[in-house]
Amino acid sequence: MVQIIVPTATEGVDIVRGIGIWGRSESDHCEVIYRDVRVPVDNALGAVGQGHQAAQDRLGAGRIYHCMNSVGQMWRAFDLMVERASTREVHGGPLKDKQFIQGFIADSYIDIQSARLMTLHAAEMIDRGLAGARTEISAIKVMVPAAYSRVVDRAIQVWGAAGVSNDLPLAAMYQGARTLRLADGPDEVHKILIAKNVLGRYAKGESWDFGN
């Protein structure tokens, strides 16, 4: 397998249409059909046989970046939620005094810190070239978007109808968080990989080292 650069102007490349995403009619996601497309050998990206590995290397780093960005978005949503809870008066007092809202704040704090620390740990393992990095990447790929969804969902609930309006970034965050459960591999694939890696370790008479 090898990756090949195919310019869009190449004969036989048919960009059929742009595919709308989340109800929006325009996007840069396209349906493309290739009909007898030929390109020079020089268009090969890397060596033959390294195409899949190159894609996986990019995806591994990409998943880290997605999770880092998600943590930042969660932080922003958290700030908005606390701001609203601190200023909105309901039933004779601020939202922040309601136990439901205090639970939202505590649960969101836990989600953000867990996501942040797991992402940092996975990045460190990649940086150190440790063998277990792939398992950690899959773990954050599943955990962080789910936490991101929960934090944004709570922020939307605190803001009420304004939370799903275009006046706030929360609706777009919610869509982005849901999309990340599919992008760079669906959750289910990553869970299977995690389980296989863990079971493989135990099958060799070892245990999983959660300290490294």
Q: From the first residue on, what is the mean pLDDT of each consecutive set of 10 residues in the chain (212 residues)?
A: 87 89 80 92 78 58 89 98 95 92 98 97 88 90 97 98 96 95 91 95 92 76
**Same domain flag for 115 and 149:** yes
Examine the domain organization and report whether 127 and 24 are in the same domain: no
Q: What's the pLDDT score for residue 59?
A: 57
Measured CA distances, 15 to 5, 6, 25, 44, 126 (Å): 16, 12, 16, 21, 37
131 belongs to a structural domain: yes
Distances (CA, A) of 83 to 4, 46, 104, 163, 164: 49, 50, 13, 13, 16
Q: Which domain holds residue 183?
A: 53-203
In a domain, residue 212? The reply is: no
Query: Do 81 and 125 contact (CB within 8 A), yes or no?
Result: no
pLDDT the model gives residue 57: 59
pLDDT at 4: 87
For residues 74 and 70, what is the distance between their CA atoms, to the nearest angstrom?
6
Residue 104 has a CB neighbour count (10 Å cut-off) of 23
Element (H, E) at 32: strand 30-34
In this prediction, residue 52 carries a pLDDT of 60
* R_g of the chain computed on alpha carbons: 22
CB distance 147 to 114 below 8 Å: yes
CATH number at residue 64: 1.20.140.10
Using the structure block, give the residue that is written with the tokens 């849901």.
178
pLDDT for 25: 76
Residues 38 and 81 in one domain: no
Return the pLDDT at 55: 61
Q: Are residues 115 and 27 in the same domain?
A: no
Q: Quick one: 85 and 190 in the same domain?
A: yes
Tell me, yes or no, whether 98 and 196 share the same domain. Answer: yes
Q: Examine the domain organization and report whether 67 and 155 are in the same domain.
A: yes
What is the predicted pLDDT for the residue at 135?
Answer: 93
Q: Are 191 and 142 in contact (CB under 8 A)?
A: yes
pTM for the whole structure: 0.83
> Does residue 106 share a domain with residue 35?
no
Domain count, the chain: 2
Same domain, 167 and 63: yes
pLDDT at position 92 is 85
Q: Which long-range contacts (CB under 8 A, 24 or more apart) does 35-41 make?
A: 36/12, 37/6, 37/10, 37/11, 37/12, 37/13, 38/10, 38/11, 38/12, 39/4, 39/5, 39/6, 39/7, 39/10
pLDDT of residue 136: 93
Note the pLDDT of residue 131: 76
64 and 160 part of one domain: yes
Please check whether residue 80 lies inside any domain of the structure. yes
Q: Hey, is 161 helix, strand or coil?
A: helix
Between helices 51-87 and 170-179, what is the axis angle to 10°?
150
30 in the same domain as 87: no
* H helix intervals, 23-132: 51-87, 99-128
Clarify whether residues 173 and 139 are in a common domain.
yes
Number of Cβ within a 10 Å radius of residue 78 = 20
Question: What pLDDT, on a 0 to 100 scale, did the predictor assign at position 20?
Answer: 84
